[in-house]
Amino acid sequence: MRPERWKYSRTGRIIIVNSMADKNEHDQPLILFNDVWKYYNDGSAGIAALRSVDFVLRKGELVAVWGPSGSGKSTLCNLAGLIDEPCRGELLFNGVPVSELTDSQRSEKRNQTIGLVFQRFNLVPVLSALENVMLPLQIRGLPYSRAQARAASVLDEVGLGGMLDNRPDKLSGGQQQRVAIARALVNNPLLIVADEPTANLDTENAEKIISLMKKTGRSRNATFLFSTHDERLLSHVKRRVRLQDGSITQDETHRDQ
Ligand code: ADP
């Protein structure tokens, strides 16, 4: 289903979903931006990092947001990942208006349903790969042995089954990012948001990370939103959304890559 088949009101909150889409869960939007604006420095005199963004991310999609530095990619990722809120417009997460959530409800929703992957991997240096991936499960209160088994299985899925005991400094950049993806996946989130996950990797490893996201997306029906400034990676991605000066200037869906 194409976004243009959605009807949204620019001022209100009425979103009319066509009846065909209603019947297919995978056509439902996981994220919907409706005329979203984001300013920094608190006010209209500040920088508009996003300008009237309309964007629909459907369940099971993998979407690359691309554009030059400063175009608003991180800002869009932060809003989709419920790290930040719009200044104007409406953002729906799985049908829920984010503006109606308190800060703590937003954090809870983020912790329960979103996996985040960062440019600098953000692994805990004193913990092994296995322990890093176990962390989100332990925070949720899963017993140690179950957390261990589940983390080991996801690390196996990302190709690191033989490196469970390695600490981050004994892993390459590409391997560290695989651990970070395993950590993001381990709670079976609805959405994984990865802001420039390949920026610290060479092209070969960057391509491997994209193909891992595609593979895990297909096998688990996970939804991935990732940003990149590297146009070379786009040929591996079906849907590409281009940002320029805070506006979406292209939203293209290519044949399956
Ligand atoms: P990108 O990820 O594409 O590099 P960003 O979303 O980081 O773009 O930034 C978009 C614009 O917002 C840029 O002009 C940037 O300088 C500005 N910006 C981002 N974060 C902040 C912030 N915390 N305070 C002020 N300006 C910011």
Reply yes or no on whether the pLDDT at 7 is more than 70: no
Phi-psi region of 4 (alpha: psi -120 to 50; beta: other; left: phi over 0): alpha
- In angstroms, rounded to a whole number, what is the distance separating the alpha carbons of residues 175 and 159? 9
CB atoms within 10 A of CB 192: 24
Which of 35-44, 221-230, 242-251 is least confident? 35-44
Determine whether 173 is exposed, middle or buried from the number of CB atoms within 10 Å of its CB (0-12, 13-18, 19+). Answer: middle
- In angstroms, rounded to a whole number, what is the distance separating the alpha carbons of residues 151 and 168? 16
Share of the chain above pLDDT 90, in %: 79
- In angstroms, rounded to a whole number, what is the distance separating the alpha carbons of residues 119 and 194? 8
pLDDT-derived band at 47 (thresholds 50, 70, 90) equals confident
CA of 233 to the centre of ligand 1 (A): 22
CA of 246 to the centre of ligand 1 (A): 9
CA of 68 to the centre of ligand 1 (A): 11
CA of 176 to the centre of ligand 1 (A): 26
Structurally, the chain folds into a number of domains equal to 1
pLDDT at res. 24: 59
pLDDT at res. 28: 74
Tell me, using a 6 A CB cutoff, whether residue 73 lines ligand 1.
Answer: yes
pLDDT at res. 91: 97
pLDDT-derived band at 257 (thresholds 50, 70, 90) equals low
* Cα torsion angle, 239, 242, 248, 251, sign: negative
Tell me, using a 6 A CB cutoff, whether residue 70 lines ligand 1.
Answer: yes
Reply yes or no on whether the pLDDT at 126 is more than 90: yes
In the block, tokens 């983020």 appear at 110
Q: What is the CATH number of the domain that holds 194?
A: 3.40.50.300
- In angstroms, rounded to a whole number, what is the distance separating the alpha carbons of residues 115 and 129? 17
In this prediction, residues 50-62 reach a mean pLDDT of 95
pLDDT at res. 232: 87
Report how far Cα 244 is from the mean position of its chain's Cα atoms: 19
For 207-240, the pLDDT digits (tens) are 999 999 999 988 888 999 999 999 989 999 999 9
Which of the pair, 12 or 93, is modelled with greater confidence? Answer: 93
CA of 43 to the centre of ligand 1 (A): 15
In the block, tokens 């990370």 appear at 209
- Output the CA–CA distances (angstroms, integers) from residue 26 to 30, 77, 240, in the order listed: 9, 21, 19
pLDDT at res. 16: 40
CA of 134 to the centre of ligand 1 (A): 32
pLDDT-derived band at 14 (thresholds 50, 70, 90) equals very low
How many CA atoms are closer than 13 Å to the CA of 193, on its beta-carbon side? 20
CA of 251 to the centre of ligand 1 (A): 21
pLDDT at res. 15: 46
Tell me, using a 6 A CB cutoff, whether residue 75 lines ligand 1.
Answer: yes
**37 phi/psi in degrees, rounded to 5:** -120, 140
* Ligand 1, atom nearest to 229 Cα: 3
Tell me which residue range forms the domain holding 32.
3-253
Reply yes or no on whether the pLDDT at 41 is more than 90: no
Which of the pair, 26 or 89, is modelled with greater confidence? Answer: 89
DSSP run (H or E) holding 100: none
Which residue type sits at 229? H
Share of the chain above pLDDT 70, in %: 88
Per-chain mean pLDDT for the chain: 89
Ligand 1 pocket mutation, candidates 66, 74, 226, 248, criterion most atoms within 8 A of CB = 74
Tell me, using a 6 A CB cutoff, whether residue 36 lines ligand 1.
Answer: no
The set of residues, in sequence order, having a beta carbon less than 8 Å from that of 153 and lying 6+ positions away, is: none
Tell me, using a 6 A CB cutoff, whether residue 58 lines ligand 1.
Answer: no
* Cα torsion angle, 117, 121, 122, 123, sign: positive
Which of the pair, 2 or 177, is modelled with greater confidence? Answer: 177
Reply yes or no on whether the pLDDT at 143 is more than 80: yes
Question: Whose Cα sits closest to atom 7 in ligand 1?
Answer: 74
Return the DSSP state at 127.
S
Tell me, using a 6 A CB cutoff, whether residue 40 lines ligand 1.
Answer: yes
